[in-house]
Amino acid sequence: MFILKGIDQLTNAITKAKKIRPRVEFDRFGRYRVSGSKGYYTVICRKDERGIKTVECTCKGAEKGLVCYHAVSALSLHIGLARQMATA
């Protein structure tokens, strides 16, 4: 899990995601399935009880605290959906 603080922490993962272009599948708002080297990983984007935005991924890198390309790929879809919901 990581706390979303800004774009700077995501730069390397975004670059890798652009190169790999993983498939992101919508499960429900805040929960996504993203293709990776070992199959699909689940990514959860949410605000915790304090209102802090967090992103979790089930891949090995994220378990070590790294910002992975699966997370930023799902986060891109999540932000787009959240903006649509806010303007609807």
Q: 17, 48, 46: which is closest to 31 by C-alpha?
A: 46
**pLDDT for 43-60, tens place per residue?**
999 998 999 888 999 999
Q: Rounded to whole angstroms, how far apart are CA atoms 28 and 32?
A: 7
The pTM (predicted TM-score) of the whole model is 0.88
- Report residue 37: phi and psi, to 5°: -65, -25
Give the domain range for residue 6.
2-87
Query: How many CB atoms are closer than 10 A to CB 85?
Result: 9
Q: Rounded to whole angstroms, how far apart are CA atoms 1 and 48?
A: 12
Domain count, the chain: 1
Is the model's pLDDT at 71 over the cut of 80? yes
Per-residue pLDDT, 2 = 77
Is the model's pLDDT at 4 over the cut of 80? no
